[in-house]
């Protein structure tokens, strides 16, 4: 690759870091409850509290390993931007290798970087099992398609190994693709029958999922299959939020239009259009599952929210193809003008720059805008962080904290909250505690849940020992 191309990739990568880091410019902590939960679960590994059911155990092992090197809470703000940039570079690699056109790879990176995020669908602003899986999704789909196209068993094996790697990290990021991978394999059934030994390993992926499910669900062997079938039917109510976000909320209408044009361009302008079949099956299948959910209220293999995101990350490649061939059409039109070749080339360059700039502006102009009901929130501020750091140095004991702050309590202080907004116990317990009128009622809750510490935003006169008081944050010891 020429030096100027490498320089351009480096420039886009640096831009990606700053763009995705935007939500953390004025906030140094994780921005989503899932991030706090993942930190908590990773820090509980190897402790008495780390024995629960956890189907994202592989991701937590990765975070646990990282926590031995750095302060996980303080460096977490950098992880989404770093991983999004790595994902964009992976998409560039896949796109460039598939199309053999550098510009299309670069365009795909740009469209990918400007995929929006929100707290319902997730996204690049957060470092979660979903976003961790994205570059691996690109890679295993690419190698699966190339393995069959080139009749290269090594590529197929790489794809299967990546899928196996993802199962304990984020199994949904493998399950959602199984149907269209199977369809692609059936289209090439002659090769599959010829190399049935290598493709029989494909069956091991769901088998591995069954074993993984058995380990963490702790059900009897007789109930494994019935339970899995039920677990893979994602009904309304699966997520913390259940909002019908559409792809347009996180992927611009301009980019979607270019993706549609990209699909037509594949058939109109690409001689070897068959090499794009996998990348057409991907959005078609996921789009079908979204429609199926709208009609039935449930979907199989992956939930509605995840399917919206899996659909969107399939589009940058198609949008990039659409933009490239739109520019090529404009260039051909310029060739028909009666001007000198030099003048034509200047006009082509100017128009190309204008078109690319306009697309970037139209694609990115609402990047930071998020509707109020799915906007970012803050569970911790600098003052509550200081309190929890103070608590970290105190003897172990259960903690009463507000539902939101409780979500981050263990991740920072290593003290277990008696309940939290989600994941940890019933938040109604906390409502009962803070709304109770008498100290007797409060003490009854403390005794029932063996709580040793109480965090409050206002003074509580219940004869507990006050051990921290700063900036409207109070810490009491029972």
Number of domains within the chain: 2
Q: Could you tell me if 356 and 440 lie in one domain?
A: no
Question: What pTM value is reported for the model?
Answer: 0.90
Q: Could you tell me if 198 and 330 lie in one domain?
A: yes
Q: Is residue 63 part of a domain?
A: yes
Average pLDDT, stretch 348-367? 93
Q: Is residue 115 part of a domain?
A: yes
Q: Could you tell me if 440 and 316 lie in one domain?
A: no
- Outline where 297-372 has alpha helix (H): 304-313, 315-335, 341-364
Q: Could you tell me if 181 and 226 lie in one domain?
A: yes
Average pLDDT, stretch 235-241? 59
Name the DSSP class of 2: -
Confidence of residue 363 (pLDDT cuts 50, 70, 90): very high
Q: Could you tell me if 282 and 402 lie in one domain?
A: no
What is the predicted pLDDT for the residue at 312? 96
Total residues found in the chain within this entry: 478
Q: How far is CA 22 from the centre of its chain?
A: 17
Q: Could you tell me if 252 and 158 lie in one domain?
A: yes
Task: Classify 314 as helix, strand or coil.
Answer: coil
Look at residues 335, 364, 393 and tell me which one is the last residue of a structural domain. 364
pLDDT (tens digit, 9 = 90+) per residue, 262-287? Answer: 999 999 998 888 889 999 999 999 99
Q: Is residue 411 part of a domain?
A: yes
Q: Is residue 359 part of a domain?
A: yes
User: In sequence order, which residues have a C-beta less than 8 Å from that of residue 208 and are 6 or more positions away?
Assistant: 164, 167
Q: Is residue 377 part of a domain?
A: no
Q: Could you tell me if 218 and 253 lie in one domain?
A: yes
Q: Is residue 319 part of a domain?
A: yes
What is the rounded CA–CA span in Å between residue 168 and residue 58? Answer: 5
What is the rounded CA–CA span in Å between residue 401 and residue 8? Answer: 49
Beta carbons of 60 and 127 less than 8 angstroms apart:
no
Q: Could you tell me if 60 and 22 lie in one domain?
A: yes
Tell me the CATH number at 431: 3.40.50.12610
Q: Is residue 370 part of a domain?
A: no
Instruction: Flag whether pLDDT at 321 surpasses 70.
Output: yes
Q: Could you tell me if 195 and 275 lie in one domain?
A: yes
Q: Could you tell me if 347 and 251 lie in one domain?
A: yes
pLDDT (tens digit, 9 = 90+) per residue, 119-149? Answer: 888 899 999 999 999 999 999 999 999 998 8
Q: Could you tell me if 113 and 226 lie in one domain?
A: yes
What is the predicted pLDDT for the residue at 83? 97
Q: How far is CA 52 from the centre of its chain?
A: 23
Domain that holds residue 133: 3-364
Q: Is residue 375 part of a domain?
A: no
Q: Could you tell me if 397 and 262 lie in one domain?
A: no
């Amino acid at each position: 690759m020429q030096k100027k191309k490498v320089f351009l990739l480096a420039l886009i990568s640096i831009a990606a870091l700053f763009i995705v880091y935007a939500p953390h410019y004025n906030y140094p902590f994780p921005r989503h409850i899932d991030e706090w939960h993942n930190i908590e679960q990773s820090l509980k590994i190897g402790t008495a509290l780390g024995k629960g059911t956890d189907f994202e155990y592989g991701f937590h092992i990765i975070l646990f390993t990282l926590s031995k090197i750095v302060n996980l809470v303080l460096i977490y703000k950098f992880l989404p931007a770093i991983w999004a940039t790595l994902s964009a570079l992976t998409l560039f690699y896949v796109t460039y290798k598939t199309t053999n056109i550098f510009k299309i790879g670069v365009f795909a990176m740009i469209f990918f970087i400007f995929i929006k995020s929100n707290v319902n669908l997730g996204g690049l602003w957060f470092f979660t099992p979903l976003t961790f899986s994205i570059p691996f999704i690109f890679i295993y789909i690419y190698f699966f398609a190339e393995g069959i196209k080139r009749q290269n068993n090594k590529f197929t094996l790489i794809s299967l190994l990546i899928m196996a790697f993802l199962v304990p990290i984020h199994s949904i990021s493998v399950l959602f693709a199984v149907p269209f991978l199977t369809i692609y394999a059936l289209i090439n059934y002659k090769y599959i029958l010829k190399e049935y030994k290598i493709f029989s390993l494909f069956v091991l992926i769901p088998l591995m999922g069954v074993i993984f499910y058995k380990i963490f669900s702790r059900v009897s062997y007789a109930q494994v299959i019935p339970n899995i079938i039920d677990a893979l039917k994602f009904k309304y109510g699966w997520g913390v939020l259940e909002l019908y976000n559409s792809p347009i909320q996180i992927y611009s209408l301009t980019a979607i239009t270019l993706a549609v044009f990209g699909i037509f361009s594949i058939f109109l302008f690409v001689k070897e259009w068959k090499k794009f079949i996998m990348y057409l099956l991907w959005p078609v299948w996921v789009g079908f599952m979204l429609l199926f959910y709208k009609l039935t209220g449930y979907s199989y293999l992956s939930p509605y929210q995840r399917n919206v995101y899996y659909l969107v990350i399939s589009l940058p490649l198609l949008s990039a193809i659409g933009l490239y061939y739109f520019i090529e059409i404009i260039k051909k039109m310029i060739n028909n003008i009666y001007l000198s070749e030099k003048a034509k080339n200047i006009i082509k360059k100017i128009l190309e720059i204008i078109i690319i700039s306009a697309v970037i502006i139209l694609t990115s102009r609402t990047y930071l805008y998020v509707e109020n009901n799915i906007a970012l929130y803050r569970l911790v501020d600098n003052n509550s962080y200081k309190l929890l750091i103070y608590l970290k140095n105190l003897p172990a004991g259960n903690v009463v904290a507000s539902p939101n702050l409780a979500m981050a309590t263990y991740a920072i202080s290593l003290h277990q909250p008696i309940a939290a907004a989600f994941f940890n116990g019933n938040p109604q317990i906390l409502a009962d505690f803070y709304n109770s009128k008498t100290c007797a009622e409060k003490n009854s809750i403390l005794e029932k849940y063996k709580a040793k510490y109480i965090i409050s935003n206002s003074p509580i006169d219940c004869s507990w020992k006050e051990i921290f008081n700063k900036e409207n944050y109070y810490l009491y010891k029972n």
